[in-house]
Structure 1
């Protein structure tokens, strides 16, 4: 149970693809718990291992207090609906700024649980948005890259101004 430092945009580690997890052990369980504790402290509803500087394909989501947190190891999108939705997104690595991003309304993902068992999950709405957002991060694509250049530059300027205090 450790709250780890979150790396901040524009740290270049956020632009690096994460490596697949190959060892399913107590170290992985500890990483997942640290991610959950760090995400709750941020606060946020989703976090990846790269957000804390660990270049592994691990995601933790906790969309609300009624749902138990879920850990996804090596997640991949295997299907996405043609229907799109707009959803306001942000990042624990860039607190205080957000904007609407267009995403697929529904997705199916394949992933492994903490024991290495392969699972699939279909989701829609907020959970589908979170899957796409966090898997993008694992692939080295920060959410800002989904915005127009003008919106991206405006948000970066706002974040830099906020960071200076």
Structure 2
């Protein structure tokens, strides 16, 4: 089982590599990869109070796999995206302060498309098409998809002033 200490951090050269597709012969490994991704996401949530998605290369698994786990009303529970491809991006763009588990104390101002459509295979190798009209979910998918391409949000910063430290949570 992988843990928070296995998470690749900013500067690790593997984070800048394009991932290989998951193959049907990889399917017996997918459940273990997803369990590792889930475990690390839960540790990030407990430590930093954020985390809705994680991409396999963040754990050194250089495969095109995204694990989402959010309470978003569009779907409930975890979702596994194998070999996702963005097939449509809305022309509307919005800005946000993006965060990343691979540099959890840094926020980066980026622009993302407001809506998207993607195709992917699920953990049972079934093909899916998903149209995402919700901004929060669309930006999350774009962030995780970028990881599969070897792109970090630091590389999408709007300008040189688009970086700031995450405020430390305090108890009241």
TM-aligned CA deviation for residue 45 of structure 1: 1.1
Select which of 104, 110, 118 maps to 1:95.
104
TM-aligned CA deviation for residue 24 of structure 1: 4.3
Structure 1 unaligned runs (5+)? 160-165
Select which of 63, 77, 98 maps to 2:70.
63
TM-aligned CA deviation for residue 139 of structure 1: 0.3
Q: Structure 1 residues 16 and 147, CA, compared in 2 at 3 Å: closer, same or farther? A: same
**What is the DSSP-based 3-state SS (H/G/I as helix, E as strand, rest coil) of the residue aligned with 1:129?**
helix
How much is the aligned-residue C-alpha RMSD, in angstroms?
A: 2.0
CA deviations over 1:24-45 (Å, ceiling 9, x no partner)? 4331111112111111111211
Select which of 52, 55, 63 maps to 2:59.
52
**What is the DSSP-based 3-state SS (H/G/I as helix, E as strand, rest coil) of the residue aligned with 2:155?**
helix
After the TM superposition, which residues 5-154 of structure 1 pair with which residues of structure 2 at under 5 Å, given as runs?
Answer: 5-22=6-23, 23-43=25-45, 44-64=51-71, 67-123=76-132, 124-151=134-161
Q: Structure 1 residues 76 and 127, CA, compared in 2 at 3 Å: closer, same or farther? A: same
**What is the DSSP-based 3-state SS (H/G/I as helix, E as strand, rest coil) of the residue aligned with 1:133?**
helix
State the 4+ residue runs in structure 1 displaced beyond 4 angstroms: none
Structure 2 unaligned runs (5+)? 46-50, 167-172
Hey, what's the Cα distance between the residues in 2 that align with 1:98 and 1:75? 25
TM-score where L is the length of structure 1: 0.86
CA deviations over 1:12-56 (Å, ceiling 9, x no partner)? 100000100002433111111211111111121111110001100
Equivalenced residue count is 156
Hey, what's the Cα distance between the residues in 1 that align with 2:130 and 2:112? 17
TM-aligned CA deviation for residue 64 of structure 1: 2.9
Hey, what's the Cα distance between the residues in 2 that align with 1:74 and 1:90? 23
Hey, what's the Cα distance between the residues in 2 that align with 1:65 and 1:3? 25
